[in-house]
């Protein structure tokens, strides 16, 4: 198990399912699309629309593309 990232801060959280532990699957709030008080993730940072996250339960690190905001894609005309 990895240690928590030194930039993990309770003030910066995101509600994105963890691809490793999938702990949200037994939660009515999460499955209903609501922000759950238990199944949040540390938001370590972002690069445009790409979020850098860590699960506080299993400490898995991953990136999640939201598709919102300024992404890394080419400008279309």
pLDDT at 73: 52
Residue 7 has pLDDT above 80, yes or no: yes
77 domain-assigned? no
Residues 24, 30 contacting (CB under 8 angstroms): yes
Pairing of strands 13-14, 61-65: unpaired
Task: Give the chain's domain count.
Answer: 1
9's CB contacts (< 8 A; 6+ apart) are 42
- Residue ranges making up the domain that contains 57: 13-65
pLDDT tens, residue by residue, 8-22? 999 999 999 999 999
75 domain-assigned? no
Which band of pLDDT confidence, cut at 50, 70 and 90, is reported for residue 72? low
Could you tell me which of 30, 18, 27 has the C-alpha nearest to residue 58?
Answer: 18
H or E element that contains 62:
strand 61-65
pLDDT tens, residue by residue, 18-68? 999 999 998 999 899 899 999 999 999 999 999 999 999 999 999 999 988
Q: What is the value of pTM for the model shown?
A: 0.81
């Amino acid at each position: 198990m990895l240690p928590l990232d030194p930039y993990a801060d309770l003030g910066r959280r995101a509600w994105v399912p963890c691809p490793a532990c999938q702990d949200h699957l037994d939660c009515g709030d999460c499955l209903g699309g609501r922000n759950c008080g238990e199944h949040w993730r540390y938001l370590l940072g972002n690069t445009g629309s790409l979020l850098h996250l860590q699960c506080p339960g299993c400490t898995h690190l991953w990136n999640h593309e939201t598709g919102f905001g300024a992404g890394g894609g080419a400008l279309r005309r």
